Amino acid sequence: MAVQSWSDVLKSSKKTALLNDGKRKIHYLFTDGKEMAEEYDLETDELVGRRWRHKNALGAVGPWQVEVGEPIAGPDASTSSEVIKENCSNPIFMRKDTKASFQWRIRNLPFSKDVFNVSVEPSERCIVIKTTNKKYYKKFSIVDLDRCQLPLDCSALSFTHANNTLIVSYKKPKEILILEQELLKELKKIKGPCEGDVDCKTQ
């Protein structure tokens, strides 16, 4: 079963823990050289961040790619008038899960809720966001379901809109909930160093 296969990959990885800034930070090193860094809120146990880093064909380590949490801020270009920056009013897409649901937030969408059409495309294994005014379009996959090879369920999808932000939620299937509970138990057994340990690989 694919869920068990992904669970085995997580368990067999080399893990380093660090408790810092109210978060449990876990660094995973997989046998294929990939790295994953996760952050959990110590009070709620909610996942607040997940990033991946891969090696390229030449063996060089690439930059961190955000899967869950706030996008990584780039270099501060505010002091240079020659640098082209993305318009701050452009839509900002990010994932921010809850314990019960996968959740995505798209900021800077000043339209009413009835403008949005959010649907599941099972054949393409993705969620599609469209607007009737043709001002925004987004297609994205649920990588957790892909890793576990679980089907997409149209009834698990819902969305709301408030404060210029579209919030798309997808209820986690029971297989994912069980996997996350088991993983969290394992992570809590890892005795991490105290705050400020410079040897910890998590960032």
* pLDDT per position as a tens digit, 49-103: 999 998 877 778 888 999 999 887 654 444 444 555 556 688 999 999 999 999 9
Question: What ranges do the domains of the chain cover?
Answer: 4-69+88-187
Joined tokens for residue 119? 């649907």
pLDDT of residue 80: 44
pLDDT of residue 87: 60
What residues of the chain score a pLDDT lower than 50? 75-81, 196-203
Quick check: pTM over 0.85?
Answer: no
pLDDT of residue 74: 55
Sheet holding 14-20, edge to edge: 14-20, 23-29, 35-41, 47-53, 65-68
Report the DSSP pairing between strands 47-53 and 65-68.
Answer: antiparallel
pLDDT of residue 62: 84
**Dist. CA 66–CA 75, nearest whole Å:** 16
Q: Which CATH class is domain 4-69+88-187?
A: mainly beta
